[in-house]
Amino acid sequence: MRKPFVAGNWKMNGSRASIKTLVSGILNGMGRVNNVEVVVCPPFVYISEVAQLLEGSTVALGSQDVAKEESGAHTGKISVSMLTDVGCKYAIIGHSERRPYYLDRDEVVAEKFIAAQKGGVIPILCVGELLEEREAGQTEAVVEEQLQGVVARTGIKALENAVIAYEPVWAIGTGKTASPAQAQEVHAFIRNWVRKEDANIADKVRILYGGSVKAANAKELFSQTDIDGGLIGGASLAADEFINICAAAG
Ligand code: PGA
């Protein structure tokens, strides 16, 4: 049995004050969430503070990115050891808002993935196609290439200690959710792709859906066989909405 997993990706939103309110709302609502791993991914500068607010709770912390380098002269970057130092368990890697704009190509994504695991941080690896790629019938090829970009360098066993997030780029922040059937189709493709290499890992690896998930559509998405939870952007910024999504995964 895969434990459902819901992560909130706060992106570049919030202030010390708004984050305090958001976290207290989430903590208050956690009583309604059963048997779901809940993670929040604040902007780097707030991670420490959120860690303190979350102390003693079951809500875990993640970052939105991480450097592939261990330390040194890398102005502006945050290392894996810094993340573990402030209590991060997870790191989102290869988000589509980074791949094209910040040179997070497959090779860099793989290096970040490897650095994270080496330093004890669990990668949440994002994959997903653009609208034009979907329309050209290339969804599976694109997703496979992105997965292969990591697995070719790490071996399939690395997925034993990772989470995969399928996020069709055209559904992120657009209000256009993939239909549960569309999402399930790609999730099944991903799981079968893993299964060809290792059936045990295929059964265990959690595959999240991301892209305009809200409380109103979460239940139907999460009830699909191969959807094990969600990576939530916009809807993770309101405590009640986020808690309702988490509860729907349980
Ligand atoms: P969204 O973002 O829920 O706002 O569409 C999801 C994501 O980018 O992870």
CATH code: domain of residue 17 = 3.20.20.70
* Atom from ligand 1 closest to the CA of residue 126: 9
* Atom from ligand 1 closest to the CA of residue 96: 8
The binding-site residues of ligand 1, defined as CB within 6 angstroms of any ligand atom, are 9, 167, 172-173, 210-213, 231-235
How many whole angstroms from 232 Cα to the centroid of ligand 1? Answer: 5
- Show the tokens assigned to 237: 């910024």
Pocket test for ligand 1, best of 167, 214, 244 (most atoms within 8 A of CB): 167
Per-residue pLDDT at 102 exceeds 90:
no
Beta carbons of 77 and 44 less than 8 angstroms apart = no
Burial of 155 (C-beta count, 10 Å sphere; 0-12/13-18/19+): exposed
The verdict on pTM exceeding 0.85 is: yes
- Show the tokens assigned to 44: 């780097």
pLDDT, position 103: 83
Per-residue pLDDT at 107 exceeds 90:
yes
Q: Which residues are catalytic?
A: 95, 167
Rounded to whole angstroms, the Cα distance separating 178 from 221 reads 9
pLDDT, position 2: 97
How many whole angstroms from 230 Cα to the centroid of ligand 1? Answer: 9
Pocket test for ligand 1, best of 10, 176, 213, 245 (most atoms within 8 A of CB): 213
How many whole angstroms from 17 Cα to the centroid of ligand 1? Answer: 22
Span 181-235, pLDDT tens digits: 999 999 999 999 999 999 999 999 999 999 999 999 999 999 999 999 999 999 9
How many whole angstroms from 1 Cα to the centroid of ligand 1? Answer: 26
pLDDT, position 206: 98
* Atom from ligand 1 closest to the CA of residue 231: 9
Of 131, 94, 88, 92, the closest CA to residue 110 belongs to: 94
Number of domains in the chain: 1
Closest CA to ligand 1's atom 1 = 233
**Bridge partners, residue 125, by sequence:** 93, 164
Beta carbons of 151 and 108 less than 8 angstroms apart = no
Mean of the per-residue pLDDT values for the chain? Answer: 97
How many whole angstroms from 16 Cα to the centroid of ligand 1? Answer: 22
Closest CA to ligand 1's atom 7 = 233
User: Is residue 179 helix, strand or coil?
Assistant: coil
Span 213-228, pLDDT tens digits: 999 999 999 999 999 9
> Which structural domain, as residue segments, surrounds residue 172?
5-249
Rounded to whole angstroms, the Cα distance separating 164 from 216 reads 23
